[in-house]
Amino acid sequence: MFIVSENKEAHPDYMKVCGEIELDESNVMTKIKMDSIGSVSDGKFVENLLACKSGFALKFYSDGETTGSTSTGIYPKCVQYNGIEYKKGGTCKIKYNLDNKNYYYDVDKVDAALIGGSGSGNKLTFCNSFKFINAKLDLFNQYVNKVTQLGNECSNIKYYDEPFTCKNDELRKLYHFFNNIEEYMLYKNEDEITEFILQQTYPSYGVKYSKDDASNYLNNKFICLLILLFYCIK
């Protein structure tokens, strides 16, 4: 769900998320677009980092600064992740790329509001959140590639109970473990456990049937019911 300046609310379209944020000349948010996952270019502010082509975003003030800004708006900006350097005490610097230039997002230098608050605990929590970032980005890229490969298959038949997986088992697996990366790292080599986890999340995971199969099954069940009723009436 996204909120625009007029305090109106709306939900994203099928297979889309609240994506690019449009700002006015004063860097105040005026609109949030609905974008496909992995479609928004680097350098754009987004509501949901899933919209980024890179699958990665860092928070900035709406004027693009990380310190001493007079802006009240703070939003994720799509950038390319290039690595992390851990410092003494457990803090870190995130290396990122934007416009073919390398930058550092140093948690000891950016304003506390951008990383969830002041204090060493918040800095450590922020840095620890990147522990499995390479695996997470790999799952993201696989997900986007699979969506592209499926093409209209996911948009022609809309499953609103699974708006980001369209009941495709491979998408289910990638999407679930992208959002549960620690679980993935713990069990990624345990096929039986991962299958169990996915079946708990998606009860129809691993069940292969087409619409025609389902229709034939229901027709056969109906015919059997009629036969039973016929013999009961006799």
- Tell me the pLDDT of the chain (234 aa) as tens digits: 334 444 445 566 888 999 999 999 999 999 999 999 999 999 999 999 999 999 999 999 999 999 999 888 999 999 999 999 999 888 999 999 999 999 999 999 999 999 998 788 999 999 999 999 999 999 999 999 999 999 888 888 889 899 999 999 999 999 999 999 999 999 999 999 999 999 999 999 998 644 454 444 445 444 444 444 444 444
Burial class (CB in 10 A: 0-12, 13-18, 19+), 39: middle
* Last-in-domain residue among 131, 149, 164: 131
One domain for residues 81 and 64: yes
Residues 35, 17 contacting (CB under 8 angstroms):
yes
Residue 106 lies in a domain: yes
Domain that holds residue 184: 134-213
Place of tokens 């987004």: 46
Residues 10 and 116 in one domain: yes
CA-nearest of 76, 198, 52, 201 to 137 is 52
pLDDT at 10: 52
pLDDT at 118: 79
Position 205 scores a pLDDT of: 95
Task: Say how far apart CA 95 and CA 84 lie, in whole Å.
Answer: 6
User: Rounded CA gap, 167 and 203, in Å?
Assistant: 10
169 and 126 in one domain? no
Verify that 105 and 45 share a domain, yes or no.
Answer: yes
**In the chain, how many domains are there?**
2
Distance CA 166, CA 157 (A): 8
Q: Are residues 147 and 47 in the same domain?
A: no
Residue 221, domain member (yes or no): no
> Residue 125 half-sphere exposure, CB side, CA atoms within 13 Å?
10
Are 47 and 18 a contacting pair, CB within 8 Å?
A: yes
Q: How much is the pLDDT for 192? A: 95
The verdict on residue 220 lying in a domain is no
Three-state secondary-structure class, residue 34: strand
- The verdict on 7 and 59 lying in the same domain is yes
Q: In this predicted structure, what is the pLDDT of residue 12?
A: 67
- pLDDT value, residue 221: 43
125, 154: one domain: no
Does residue 204 share a domain with residue 93? Answer: no
